[in-house]
Structure 1
Amino acid sequence: MDVRRLKYFLAVAEELHFGRAATRLEIAQPPLSRQIAALEADIGAQLFDRSRSQIRLTQAGEIFEGHARAIVDRLENAYRETRLVGEGGQGRLRIAFVGSASHGVLPTLIKSYRSHFPKVELALSAMNNAELHSAIIQREIDIAVARPDLGDDELRREPLAHEDLVLAIPDASELASRKEIRFADLSDQTFVLYPRRPRPSYADHILSICKQEGFEPAALELAQDFQTAISLVSVGVGICVVPASVAATTRPGVFYRPYVGLNPGTSLTIHARRDNQSPQVRNFLEVARKFVRSR
């Protein structure tokens, strides 16, 4: 059935006047009358009682009006929702990130994206770099926020933030009371590093700083992720070198301190597959660019 005829029928049913309905539809009255007559012929029932003084819906017309209105409303909703998804204003976006990113600028970026596209469903999860790389290549996620980045030419990347490194120290450690901590003086400490695997990783980034400062840690304790590493620090296992943004979130049993010495910092980078041209991904990257420029 022609949807246009349904709209013509509903206009006449609402106006109960062919002339007014034709004006509203911006067509001439004779073609409107012919379309209604053709609709009645298709259905096999008279929809309107026509008289010189008044037009009324027949019982069949009243029944048909309810069905026609439901069909047109559903179709218009389908057009609207499909158009919104196609423009990136609705749909789903899967974002995964390294655990330490949840303490920095990423939550603010996600909040900014939500304010621009509140109807997009966000699926958020924490992963290490290896998991991020596998998930985005396998199309299990749309956006990967890595530290520092994922070395793959299949991925486009946008820088998000760069920050200094600080020390996470057990509150019972004598280091916590020092006015100044020199990185080169930490050779007798147990370093809690993450992730345990795969390597090379952020752990190797910290070990390279140790090497450039002229020592190897007295002992290593390898954790699989950031949260586990901080938990080990909180119970006195050792010290950890973390992004400065982590210090904004207090953790019982842990003090955060700056240090004197080599501090190359650490970066966060946003990644997406080059062949993922979904409007949700494009919109997220555009919001991210504006967010970085504003900072």
Structure 2
Amino acid sequence: MNYQIELRHLYYFKVLAEELHYRRAAERLFISQPGLTRQIKQMEEIYKTALFERGKRFVKLTPAGEYLKKEVELLFTHYHNIHTQIEKIGEGKIATLKLGFIGSAVQTILPELLTRLKSQQPMVDITLNELSNEIQMELLLKDELDFGFVRMENFPPKIESLPILTEHFALVVPKGHPLSQTKKADFAHLKEESFILFSRAYSTTYYDLVMSIFRDHHFIPNVTLRTVNALTIFNLVSQGMGMAIVPSSLKKGYNADVDFIELKHIPQRTTLYLAWNMENRNPGIPLFLEITKKICG
């Protein structure tokens, strides 16, 4: 049997691996269910291994199928990126860049970077998405993002990083709070307070770093609320729901009824990194890195 794997086979496999249901997958693909079954059987004959386990009431991936699913997702992401880049080049654009960021990046380097990039290369298309650190890492590994601005310390092997800004923390309290007049917050008086923090989903390493501040002062905080959004934190603090600890750069750019008390006396610092996938061949990446290094250098 002289079959060869074609792109359509991989796309059929991808849809079935997502649906794990032949009828639904066939409907998505606008082909008959027997036709889909034949295509998958052809693939299994070519690869000489089963990709799906089939029962009367279930369809699930085999270990080989799980592996192929991950590779096919990367393949189609890369295929989509090629398509997008070619379209942009055809329109006279140099490249398109997809950037992920956390809120504090907007208050620090990101606006200057974008201004400088547009000034030097106005024909670069840029898409911005505010995302948590963890989601940015997932998308960078899949080439669904070109760059991420993150706060984390440990990066996967394929991810390169460049430190952008290291800063201290600030304690956030409601406007006019008695602590607002102090220049040095005494944590001994904060043990009974409620705290609103960025959740572990924002970044595991960042969350652990903030919790180490409390450990150094020998208490476990009463964390009543967790979120990944800075404005939500500030609004909740302004309503008296608790205090917060955030990177000091977040005091810029938000109109909230809160005061910031700099925590320069504690040893903890947080670093904003630019991260990218070293295997990503987007032609806009070297340009963006060059501009970033000039600003940070």
Q: TM-score range, shorter-chain basis?
A: 0.5 to 0.7
Q: Following superposition of structure 1 onto structure 2, how do residues 48-67 of structure 1 map, counting pairs within 5 Å? A: none
Instruction: Give a deviation string over 1:60-83, Cα, whole Å, max 9, x none.
Output: xxxxxxxxxxxxxxxxxxxxx97x
- Does the aligned pair in 1 maintain the 2:198–2:226 contact within 8 Å? yes
- 1:99 aligned to which of 93, 98, 103: 103
The residue type paired with residue 146 of structure 1 is V
Choose the corresponding residue for 1:128, options 108, 129, 132: 132
1:271-282 matches, cutoff 5 A: 271-282=275-286
What are the Cα deviations for residues 71-98 of structure 1, in whole angstroms up to 9, with x where unaligned?
A: xxxxxxxxxx97x949x96221000011
Distance 2:169 2:291 in 1: 27
Q: Name the SS for the 1:140 alignment partner.
A: coil
Counterpart of 1:176 in structure 2 is 180
Change (3 A) 1:203 1:226: farther
> In the alignment, is the contact (CA less than 8 A) between 1:182 and 1:259 conserved in 2?
no
User: What is the match of residue 227 of structure 2?
Assistant: 223
Question: How many residues in Structure 1 have an aligned counterpart in Structure 2?
Answer: 211
Does 1:269 find its partner at 2:273?
Answer: yes
Following TM superposition, by how much is the alpha carbon of 1:276 offset from its aligned partner in structure 2, in angstroms?
A: 1.0
Of 256, 260, 275 in structure 2, the residue corresponding to residue 256 of structure 1 is 260
Larger radius of gyration: 1
Counterpart for residue 117 of structure 2: 113
The C-alpha deviation readout for 1:180-235, integer Å capped at 9, x for no partner, is 32234322221111125376242222111110122221343211332322221122
Partner of 1:244: 248
- Structure 1 residue 133: deviation in Å? 0.9
What is the TM-score when the length of structure 1 is the normalising length?
A: 0.65
In 2 relative to 1, CA 203–227 (structure 1 residues): closer, same or farther, beyond 3 Å? Answer: farther
The equivalent position to 1:185 in structure 2, one of 189, 192, 215, is 189
- CA distance in structure 2 between the partners assigned to 1:209 and 1:218 by the alignment: 14
SS in 2 for 1:279: coil
**Separation of aligned partners in 2, 1:203 and 1:147:** 10
Whether 2:160 is the aligned partner of 1:139: answer: no
Whether the 8 Å contact between 1:183 and 1:260 is mirrored in structure 2 is no
Shift of 1:110: 2.0
SS at match of 1:231: helix
Of residues 179-188 and 270-279 in structure 1, the stretch that sits farther from structure 2 once superposed is: 179-188
The verdict on how the C-alpha distance between 1:108 and 1:181 changes in structure 2, with shifts beyond 3 A counting, is same
Cα distance in 2 between the residues matched to 1:173 and 1:220? 19
User: How far did residue 247 of structure 1 move?
Assistant: 1.6
Identity of aligned residues (%): 26
Greater alpha carbon shift after TM alignment, 196-205 vs 127-136? 196-205
- Give per-residue Cα distances to partners, 1:140-190, cap 9 Å, x unaligned: 111111013452111111111111111111115322233432234322221
Which residue, out of 198, 211, 215, partners 1:211?
215
Gap change, CA 1:250 and 1:96, over 3 Å in 2: closer
Q: Distance in 1 between matches of 2:122 and 2:271?
A: 28
Measured after TM superposition, the shift of residue 249 of structure 1 is: 2.6
Matched-pair contact (CA < 8 Å) for 1:196–1:225: no
Alpha-carbon distance in 1 for matches of 2:214, 2:147? 32
Counterpart Cα distance in 1 of 2:188 and 2:113: 36
What SS does the corresponding residue of 1:252 show, helix, strand or coil? coil
- State the secondary structure of the residue aligned to 1:123: strand
Q: Distance between the aligned counterparts of 2:119 and 2:190, measured in 1?
A: 45
TM-score (norm 2): 0.64
Question: Structure 1 stretch 90-99 or stretch 182-191: which is displaced more?
Answer: 182-191
SS at match of 2:209: helix
| SS of residue in 1 equivalent to 2:284 | helix
Relative to structure 1, is the Cα distance of residues 157 and 263 closer, same or farther in structure 2, using a 3 angstrom cutoff?
same
| Separation in 2, partners of 1:227, 1:196 | 17
User: Aligned partners of 1:157 and 1:260: how far apart in 2?
Assistant: 26
Shift of 1:260: 5.7
Name the CA distance, whole Å, in 2 between partners of 1:236 and 1:161. 31
